[in-house]
A and B are shown apart, each in its own frame.
Chain A
Amino acid sequence: MDSSDWQAVTLTLQLGGYTTLILLVIATPLAWWLARQRSWLSAPVQAIVALPLVLPPTVLGFYLLIWLGPEGFVGATLESLGLQHLAFSFEGILIGSILYSLPFAVQPLTESFRQISQGQLDVAATLGAGWWRRFWTIVVPSCQGGFLIAATLSFAHTLGEFGVILMLGGSIPGETQVLSVLIYDHAEAMNYQAAENLSLGLLLFSFVVLMAVYTWQKRPTGGARYVAR
């Protein structure tokens, strides 16, 4: 592993970390709305959220490249404000990752929000708990499994991202060249040893992360204690 490999490792972890954090913030209200409200908008919103599951990553990558680039409506707006457009940048692939992993965060959360009884929330409300308190003392503890799965899947799915990043980010070392793209580049340069090391590392890491989640999930009280603090 040389310095460019480590650079890609750091970049990949950063991308996964930021994607997961931002997704939890975005997906929580969205999932809550989907789980608790019935509206004519539910079906179209659900369909949009699920789109990345069925669309080829190249389609998402293509649209993002057009929109975030200097001539797209997002990129051009940013440029007219004196900012940089987002194609071929870390911020760009971060946006791509968030959209691409959205269903992996929203769907587990929606499922677990549906399990919460309205009665419990109403009781808390009559005892004077505001929505913020109800959220932290009822929703978070009882849905911690959902949050954990949402976070893990978002993170793991981002590690496995390739097509969107290749299209939208290119392969710029230190900026958009994440591990999956670097492995592709190593194979192309016939650095098989380097490609093998990174692939094996990614395989083991993904396995350990998933295994940790499933092991943790089996302990019914473990998480409750953590959150109760």
Chain B
Amino acid sequence: MKRLLLLLMLLTPGLSAAELTIAAASSYRPLLNHLAQQFEQRQQHQVRFVFGSSGKLATQIIRGAPFDLIFSANMAYLKALSDNDLLAGEVVTDGYGQLVLWSKSEAQLTAETDLVKLLQQQRVAIAQPKHAPFGQAAKGYLEQQHIYHQIQPNLVYSENVAQAVHMVHSGAADFGFVALSVIPLEQQSETRMYRIALENEALLRQAHAVLKSAKDKNLANEFSRFVQRQEFDEVKRHYGIEPERVKN
């Protein structure tokens, strides 16, 4: 028994060296992993991430999760946090996400493609619209095209957009309404995807904010300013998030 206790004490890690804990929408994962690596190299601070759907992360923050920053794929959740008086600073827009219809195999997808015919008898992955912004955007698009009810029986729901990509990638689903930013770079071939132009682009406005629960607000603000640097515009575009300043 004593030996066991001793072993446990030895195992107790000097809790991870991370100084920043960041909650981020799944659509941010590849981009933020890249940026955090840069940040860690240049500023010598450790960053750790918790990825999930924007809605789930916002709920966790309302329930007391100890995060320093949130990166959300939808403004509505940042608004909810702001209404709960949980944000410490301004909401900063990082860019706009791109919704795509992604196919597991080669497919010539154009604006003329008849989606109802294409997706008939196929399994189509979509992030849960109740709490995942890309799922909401996809559902909104299908409704606007008046084909949601025809396609709905084929939909399979994932907890967040990264899981929808994973479903297509693993072959479990034939198609997926996903974020361009989560598709592995080597698989972003134009012959396998169709970029969906949304009427209301603000739907997928990707933005972040420092949280009141941040342990070190200066460091959190430093990370926020770091990702806003113009030098990363190209990186953002590379990972499928269109920076805002280019649009203006």
Contact = CB atoms under 8 A, between A and B. Distances in A.
A177 B169 CA distance: 25
B184 A190 contact: yes
B15 A88 contact: no
A198 interface: no
Please report whether the interface of chain B is mostly helix, strand, loop or mixed according to DSSP.
mixed
Contacts of A170: 50, 52, 60, 65
B129 to A, nearest CB: 18
A166 to B, nearest CB: 10
Contacts of B218: none
Given A10-B13, A17-B11, A88-B66, A190 B165 contact: yes
A21 B13 contact: no
Contacts of A197: none
A9 to B, nearest CB: 10
B185 to A, nearest CB: 12
B178 to A, nearest CB: 12
Q: How large is the interface on A (under 10, 10 to 19, 20 to 34, 35 or more residues)?
A: 20 to 34
A141 interface: no
Contact of A175 (B4, B16, B60): B16
A96 interface: no
B13 A185 contact: no
Interface string A10-45: 110110011001000000000000000000000000
Given A11-B13, A14-B12, A174-B13, A190 B51 contact: no
B81 to A, nearest CB: 14
Interface string B1-43: 0001101100111011010010000100100000000000000
Contacts of A18: 8
Contact of A174 (B5, B16, B29): B16
A14 B14 CA distance: 13
Contacts of A14: 8, 11-12
B63 interface: yes
Contacts of A7: 13, 16
Given A11-B13, A88-B65, A172-B65, 12 more contacts: A65-B63, A70-B63, A87-B65, A88-B64, A170-B65, A171-B51, A172-B48, A172-B50, A173-B16, A187-B166, A188-B162, A190-B184
